[in-house]
Structures are given as structure tokens and as C-alpha cells.
Amino acid sequence: MSDDRIFISTDEPPAESAALVDDFTPSLITQANHHLCPGCGEPIAIRAAVEAIEELELAERTIAVFGIGCYTAFAHNLDVEVVQALHGRAPSVATGVKRMLPEGFVMTIQGDGDMVNEGLQEVLHAAARGENITCLLLNNGVFGETGGQMTTTTTLGQRTKTSIEGRDPHQHGHPILLSDLAATMDGAAYVARCAVNNAGNVARTKRYITRAYESQMAGAGFSLVEILTMCPTGWFVDTLEGPDYLQDTLAPVHNIGELRTP
Amino acid sequence: MSPSTPRNTVTVRGTVVIDVEACKGCDLCIDACPPRVLEMTTREANAKGYRYPRLLAGCTGCQACAQICPDFVFQVYKYDTPLELPLDDEGGQ
Amino acid sequence: MSDRALLEGSEAMARAAVAAGCRFFTGYPMTPFTELLEHMAALLPQVDGVCMNAESELEAVGMAWGAATTGHLAATGSTGQGLSLMQESLSEITNARLPLVVFNMARGQGDYFQATRGGGHGDYRHIVLAPMDVPEAVELTRLAFDLAGQWRTPVMVLGDYFLAHTYQAVSVPSIDGAAPKVPDWALNGSTGGSGAAKIISPLGSGTEGEEGFDLGAHFADCAAHIQALEAGVEPLVDVGFCDDAELVVAAYGSVGKFVRYACLQLRDSGHRVGYIRPITLWPFPSQAVQDAAAGSAKVAVYEQNMGQMIDDVRLATLGAVPVEFIGGPSWDHSGFGIGPDINVPDISERILEAMP
């Protein structure tokens, strides 16, 4: 069957008068190409995070404290001021920054290995202390940067390079639901969980991040947004299967929604 | 098939520019596109060897592709007045 | 104008720190560091500073790291055990080129290697200052903040239980002075959106270019900075009676004060003994040790540990003269290293035994 469908040229902006509504790389990301894997959800989450900074006109007050994981590639690739912290320690570093710059907008960007493994005490203490910072948790349920090992958020039955037959509670224990934990802290003002596996969820992620930022700017206390992200490489699935794998493997355990609001 | 049958057309509210060389062929935009007017190439590949998306008629300029693309390869436009574009070369099967 | 007062060492050091411009302090209570934290908690609010009782030493050094990136003078501390938890961060803070003062109010002198070699990972060193008493601690605390700011590096003040809890009349500069101006490299968010936003990272400030950024170049730059530090910081040392000494005794810290006094007494009774007390433990005063040992027949090292600074004394003399260890771990039942062995008669006896 010959394909006679007409493909529209996408090399040049349209001749007809039109409004530009999206322009490749967000302005607060300096370098367009990065070396994260095809189908990775982290750049999508970071895009939402920096777009919200821009829309709330916070760029000139922002200090982003990075944890260590694949997303660290963006630490040297953002047009906002950045502090690179040690694995797990970002919420403490952010605390020091915020205490000395109360008018600054201080956030952390961390992964599940960084925040829920290495730095669990840091984030929970910051939440309990009601530190007026916003923590973003990019949760893909594996250590992505080191090639797909189990983390504390890996779900039961999920296969990783250190839970080869699937996470087994007797041998590997149970996943930690970080947002649910943080939501029990009275110092927490806003806690929500979302995902970037489809356009609707990406829009929801942007909304939740914006509300978290607004909560910080209102001085309401600790805010956290957990964003489920795809990691096809670390999940050993095709990039096209990433979104469904997230929906079937992570989302049923790490439930999406707002868990605590001011 | 008589010449007078009307050609298959569709209302097009927007379009995209695709930075083909930046694409890593991950396919996420294909399923994310509500009107499903993006389709990965089968034979053509960019300099890095990745297949990339091509646009069919029917884009609404909704930005779903741009928002989900991990490599920021999309520029999205919304036409001031929607266009009527043919879907294919003949009067449709 | 400084006020003269009878102060506990911890308080004198806290006042000196605030007078030097320290505006952020954090720590986790642990003997004998606790009182320094308490005094800072009382003083800092008076100058609109911040003092935090961190939930752990790991978080304390993290908070101090964050505060330092804003260009305000920050400090933290603990005793040896707590310092062990901070080592990872201290090595990375060094590579991130951040000023930070770290107080180790140690138990005994077993932390010499941790302090001078660094218990963290990778190639890094940082300045270590070891006061012998409260007045010197006040001076060295101010110096520590000056050096940290000047060289943008961590500086450790290595004290101990004696120093923390001994009351001594001392003149301490007033804490009313303004804090020093925030340096240009500091972060405050303002370069966001400028196309060249600042970054402070242990991996350097290179930006993600076409080919990524070059860590090799950054680590070479860090190495050059440490070499410049070692060459540029004039080590402080206290030397006495070495010109005609048969035996030179080396010791540091509060213990060094007792050893110095023993040497003074032995001198009075006609023994040709001299002393050398390194005050800057890194960069180590190797030249001064070499010079002090030059005329003597032997060097004895007294430390309240199994012998750690003795390595640096040996490196400084390179076999030119025999070096004998006459110290030992503290006999103190409390484990705080202030025990019965820190007394002049016992020290004098060991020195006499070591006389060539």
C-alpha cells in the first residue's frame, strides 16, 4: 500500500502568521544537548522546574542545590545559581543557604538514591524543622547513573541489577514512600507527587511545582514535590515502554496526588 | 473515483519545527501527541544514527510534544487563523 | 577596644569568632565541644547571626557548607568522633574553594593525623592551628577566619578539653563590629538569567560545553591551590633554648604548654634542653624544626597519643638527628585526655631519661 500521506515540512518556522508558544530549550537551561539517555524523564522534570522559576520571576533569587545522580549533568547547565552538594546532603546545604539568604528562593534537585537512600535523615529533618525550602525528588526507582541498581523506592517485584528476580521483601525489604513520610511532618507545608510519563502528568507536575514554589515564597515552611521519572536504561525496557512501565510499576505504589497543602 | 469528490482535508491549528539532529529517537512524543500526527521515520536517521519524528497534517499547537521531549527538539507555533490542509495526495481511498 | 575578662576557653573562642565576623555556626553537642556551641548560640543572635543545633554532624557540616556559599563567614565543629563524620564534606568543601572554620575540641591528641592529613578522600590538605591556651586560642581563632577568607579554604582550630574548660583572664575584641563585606564570588541568586549564572561546586565552575567540562583541569587547579597554600602560609611556631640544647623536645597544644614549662624548669636546673612547639600543624614548620634540631644531639617528641606528629618531625629532620618518642596515650579514666599524666614532674622525668 503506497504511503501517499502528506508530511509537513518541519525545518523552518511557518510562513503563515503564527505565535511561537514553545521554543526548543527553556531559557534557563544553558546547553541544549545533554548526555542523559534517550527517553529519560529527568530533563522533562527539570524543564518543568525551570519554567516555573521563570514564570514566577524567581530566576534572580534562585539558588538550586543539586544532589548527585544523572540529573547532576544539569548542575553545570542551568542559568540559575547552583551549589553542588554531596550525595544526600542537599537539604542541609540548602538550609545553610536559606538561613543566610532568607529572601533567596532555595531549592534542591535530588534523585531517589540521593534523597531516600543516602540523605533520608537530611530531608526528614528539614521537613520536621519546617525549613522554608523546596525539595524536588526525581524518583525513577533505581540508581540510574550507575546502571540500574535497586534503591529504597524500588517497588516489590521490580527487577534491577541488585534485585535480579524482582525486589523481594524478605531479602530486600519494602519500598519507602518518601512523600507520604514527609507529609506526616508538621513542618511540611506542601507535599505532592506526580510524574512525567504523559503530557497530562507533565502539566500536573508543572502545577504542583508552581504551588510548592509559591508555598516557599509565602514562607509557609517546607515543600516537596516528588516526580516519578522514566529510566528505560535502568529499567531495561525500550524507551517507548518507559511511560507504561512507570504507570504499572512505580505509580501504583508511589501514588500521584497532593498529600499535604497549606 | 470521480474528480469531483472533495479532497480529504483537515483543520490545522499549529505546526512545529523539529531539531532533527538533537533527537535521540526515544519515541515519547509519538504517544504524547493528542491528535497523533507525529510519526517516527523508519529509514531516515540523523547524524547520530537516531530515527526522528515527522509531522502529518492535524497539529493543534498544544505543546504536548515539547513538554515531554527530554531533548528539547520541538519549537511549537499556533497559527493566528487555522489552515485547511490536504491529508494526502489523492481524493482519499 | 577589647574587654578583659575571666572567660572559659569555649566562651573566649566563641567571642573571638563572632568578633572575627563569623555569622553562621552549627554543631551537634558532644563533649568537650558542646560549650562552644552553647556560647555561639547565645552570641550570634546578638549580631543577627544564625546558630543551629544540627540534627547530626553530617547535617551540621552540610549547613555550614551552604552558609559559606553566601559569602558570610561560617564555622562548625565537634570533637574527634564528630569530625570523623564531617570528613567527606571537608574534603569536598576544599575543592569547592569555600572558606570555613572548623573547631575540633579534641579528646587527647589522637586526632593529629585526622586533622593534618585529613580523614576525607582524595588529594586535599587544609590549614590546622593548635593553640596551647585561652589567650592564644583567641588569636588563632581570629587568624583562622582571616586565613579561611583569604585563601577560600577550610581552616581547623585544634583545641582540646583543657582549652575548652579552663578559665583564664583574656582580652577579647568586642563583638559589636560589622561583619566583613560579602566577597564577589558569593552566591545570592542575582546572576540567574544573566547567561552566566554562578556555580559553586567541588567539581569546579566549568559549564557544560559541547564536550562537557574538564575535571582533569579542575583537579590540577585544586592541586595548584593547595601548593600555593602550603608555600604562602607562614607556619607559626614557638621555640626556646635550642641554640645550645643537647636535647630538643617537640610538643603541641595544651600538652605543649606543660612540656614547655618542664623545659623551662630543667633549664633553670642547668640541663641543656630546648623546646619547639609547632602552632601551625599544617603547613608544618619543618624549617623551624630542622633549625632547632641542628645543634642538638637528639629530638624527643611528647604527644598524648601513640606518636603522630613524630612523623612530621622525622620528615623535617630527615635523619639528621635521632628522634625519640617519649609520649603515649592518655591514662585518663574519663577518656577525655586530661588525666594524671599531664603533669610537669612526670614529663620532666621522661625528658631527663631521653637526655643523650
pLDDT at residue B4, as a whole number: 54
C32 preceded by cis ω (within 30°)? yes
* CATH of residue A168: 3.40.50.970
Checking if the pLDDT of B6 tops 80, the result is no
In a domain, residue A195? The reply is yes
pLDDT at residue C34, as a whole number: 98
Check if the beta carbon of residue C7 is closer than 8 Å to that of residue C32. Answer: no
Spatial separation of the C-alpha atoms in residues B58 and B85, rounded to whole Å: 8
Of the pLDDT bands very low, low, confident and very high (cuts 50, 70, 90), residue B86 is confident
User: Which among C199, C200, C210, C215 is the top mutation candidate for probing chain A, defined by the most A β-carbons within 10 Å of its own β-carbon?
Assistant: C199
Are A38 and B70 in contact (CB < 8 Å)?
Answer: yes
What residue in A sits closest to C213 (Cα-Cα)? Answer: A76
In which order are the strands placed within the sheet that holds C247-250? C237-240, C273-278, C247-250, C298-301, C323-325
pLDDT at residue A1, as a whole number: 58
User: Which among A22, A198, A231, A244 is the top mutation candidate for probing chain B, defined by the most B β-carbons within 10 Å of its own β-carbon?
Assistant: A22
| Residue with the three cell numbers 573566649 | C12
Q: Is A135 helix (H, G, I), strand (E, B) or coil?
A: strand
Domain with CATH 3.40.50.970 in chain C: 2-173
Check if the beta carbon of residue A176 is closer than 8 Å to that of residue A150. Answer: no
Q: Please determine, for the modelled complex, whether the ipTM score is greater than 0.90.
A: yes
Half-sphere exposure of residue A239, counting CA atoms within 13 Å on the CB side? Answer: 20
Instruction: Record the cell numbers describing residue C124, joined without a space.
Output: 586535599
User: Which among B8, B15, B28 is the top mutation candidate for probing chain A, defined by the most A β-carbons within 10 Å of its own β-carbon?
Assistant: B28
pLDDT at residue B93, as a whole number: 47
**Is the minimum CB–CB distance between A180 and chain C shorter than 8 Å?**
no
DSSP state of A141: S
In a domain, residue A218? The reply is yes
Q: Which residue has the higher pLDDT, A184 or B86?
A: A184
Spatial separation of the C-alpha atoms in residues C40 and C76, rounded to whole Å: 10
Among the partner-chain residues C55, C202, C208, the one whose CB lies closest to the CB of A77 is C208
DSSP state of A160: B
- The model carries a pTM of 0.95
Spatial separation of the C-alpha atoms in residues B33 and B76, rounded to whole Å: 12
| Residue with the three cell numbers 538569567 | C193
Q: Is C285 helix (H, G, I), strand (E, B) or coil?
A: coil
Domain with CATH 3.40.50.920 in chain C: 237-354
Check if the beta carbon of residue A166 is closer than 8 Å to that of residue A157. Answer: yes
Closest by alpha carbon to C154, among C182, C116, C122, C186? C116
Spatial separation of the C-alpha atoms in residues B57 and B9, rounded to whole Å: 9
User: Which among C187, C198, C203, C213 is the top mutation candidate for probing chain A, defined by the most A β-carbons within 10 Å of its own β-carbon?
Assistant: C187
| Partner residues linked to C7 by β-bridges | C168
Residues in CB range of B11: below 8 A, 6 or more apart: B58, B82, B83, B84
**Is the minimum CB–CB distance between B35 and chain A shorter than 8 Å?**
no
Q: What is the pLDDT of residues B46-60, one digit of tens each?
A: 999 999 999 999 999
In a domain, residue A86? The reply is yes
Closest by alpha carbon to C275, among C229, C326, C334? C326
Check if the beta carbon of residue A153 is closer than 8 Å to that of residue A176. Answer: yes
Spatial separation of the C-alpha atoms in residues B77 and C126, rounded to whole Å: 56
pLDDT at residue A32, as a whole number: 84
pLDDT at residue A140, as a whole number: 98
Closest by alpha carbon to A89, among A139, A44, A61, A125? A125
Among the partner-chain residues A5, A11, A13, the one whose CB lies closest to the CB of B88 is A5
pLDDT tens, residue order, chain C (356 aa): 567 999 999 999 999 999 999 999 999 999 999 999 999 999 999 999 999 999 999 999 999 999 999 999 999 999 999 999 999 999 999 999 999 999 999 999 999 999 999 999 999 999 999 999 999 999 999 999 999 999 999 999 999 999 999 999 999 888 987 888 999 999 999 999 999 999 999 998 877 665 567 888 899 999 999 999 999 999 999 999 999 999 999 999 999 999 999 999 999 999 999 999 999 999 999 999 999 999 899 999 999 999 999 999 999 999 999 999 999 998 888 889 887 888 999 999 999 999 99
Amino acid at C25: F
A residues 21..80 contacting B (CB < 8 A) = 21-26, 29, 32-34, 36-44, 47-48
User: Looking at beta carbons, which residues of chain A come within 8 Å of B71?
Assistant: 32-34, 38, 43
**Is the minimum CB–CB distance between A2 and chain B shorter than 8 Å?**
no
DSSP state of A247: I
DSSP state of A241: G
Query: What fold characterizes domain C237-354?
Result: Rossmann fold (3.40.50)
Check if the beta carbon of residue C285 is closer than 8 Å to that of residue C309. Answer: no
Q: Which residue has the higher pLDDT, B88 or C298?
A: C298
User: Looking at beta carbons, which residues of chain A come within 8 Å of B22?
Assistant: 24, 32-33
Our CA-based measurement puts residue B1 at a distance from the nearest CA of chain A, in whole angstroms, of 16
Amino acid at B1: M
Spatial separation of the C-alpha atoms in residues C152 and C22, rounded to whole Å: 14
> 10 Å Cβ neighbour count for C54?
24
In a domain, residue A16? The reply is no
Share of chain B above pLDDT 70, in %: 88
Q: Report the number of distinct structural domains present in chain A.
A: 1
Check if the beta carbon of residue A123 is closer than 8 Å to that of residue A113. Answer: no
> 10 Å Cβ neighbour count for C146?
17
pLDDT tens, residue order, chain A (262 aa): 577 888 999 999 999 999 999 999 999 999 888 999 999 999 999 999 999 999 999 999 999 999 999 999 999 999 999 999 999 999 999 999 999 999 999 999 999 999 999 999 999 999 999 999 999 999 999 999 999 999 999 999 999 999 999 999 999 999 999 999 999 999 999 999 999 999 999 999 999 999 999 999 999 999 999 999 999 999 999 999 999 999 999 999 999 999 999 9
Burial class (CB in 10 A: 0-12, 13-18, 19+), A57: exposed
**Is the minimum CB–CB distance between A85 and chain C shorter than 8 Å?**
yes
Spatial separation of the C-alpha atoms in residues A193 and A212, rounded to whole Å: 11
Average per-residue pLDDT for chain B: 91
Closest by alpha carbon to B52, among B63, B39, B71? B39
Q: Is C51 helix (H, G, I), strand (E, B) or coil?
A: strand
Pick the CATH number of C2-173 from 3.90.1150.10, 3.40.50.970, 3.60.20.10, 3.30.360.10: 3.40.50.970
Of the pLDDT bands very low, low, confident and very high (cuts 50, 70, 90), residue B87 is confident
In a domain, residue A162? The reply is yes
CA dihedral over C227, C230, C233, C234, signed as positive or negative? negative
Spatial separation of the C-alpha atoms in residues A240 and B50, rounded to whole Å: 14
Spatial separation of the C-alpha atoms in residues C97 and C226, rounded to whole Å: 10
Closest by alpha carbon to A196, among B70, C212, C195? B70
Spatial separation of the C-alpha atoms in residues A136 and A91, rounded to whole Å: 10
| Residue with the three cell numbers 530515527 | B51
- Cα B60 vs. chain centroid, distance in angstroms? 10
Domain span at A65: 42-260
> 10 Å Cβ neighbour count for B40?
17
Are A92 and C63 in contact (CB < 8 Å)?
Answer: yes
Check if the beta carbon of residue C74 is closer than 8 Å to that of residue A96. Answer: yes
Closest by alpha carbon to C326, among C247, C249, C265, C270? C249
| Residue with the three cell numbers 497523533 | B36
Spatial separation of the C-alpha atoms in residues A230 and A227, rounded to whole Å: 10
pLDDT at residue B50, as a whole number: 97
Half-sphere exposure of residue A230, counting CA atoms within 13 Å on the CB side? Answer: 32
Long-range contacts of B38-44 (CB under 8 A, 24+ apart): B38/B65
Helices (H) and strands (E) in chain B, counts: 2, 4
User: Looking at beta carbons, which residues of chain A come within 8 Å of B9?
Assistant: none
What residue in C sits closest to A106 (Cα-Cα)? Answer: C189
Spatial separation of the C-alpha atoms in residues C243 and C317, rounded to whole Å: 16
A26 preceded by cis ω (within 30°)? no
User: Looking at beta carbons, which residues of chain A come within 8 Å of B55?
Assistant: 7-8, 10
Residues in CB range of C7: below 8 A, 6 or more apart: C15, C134, C167, C168, C169, C170, C172
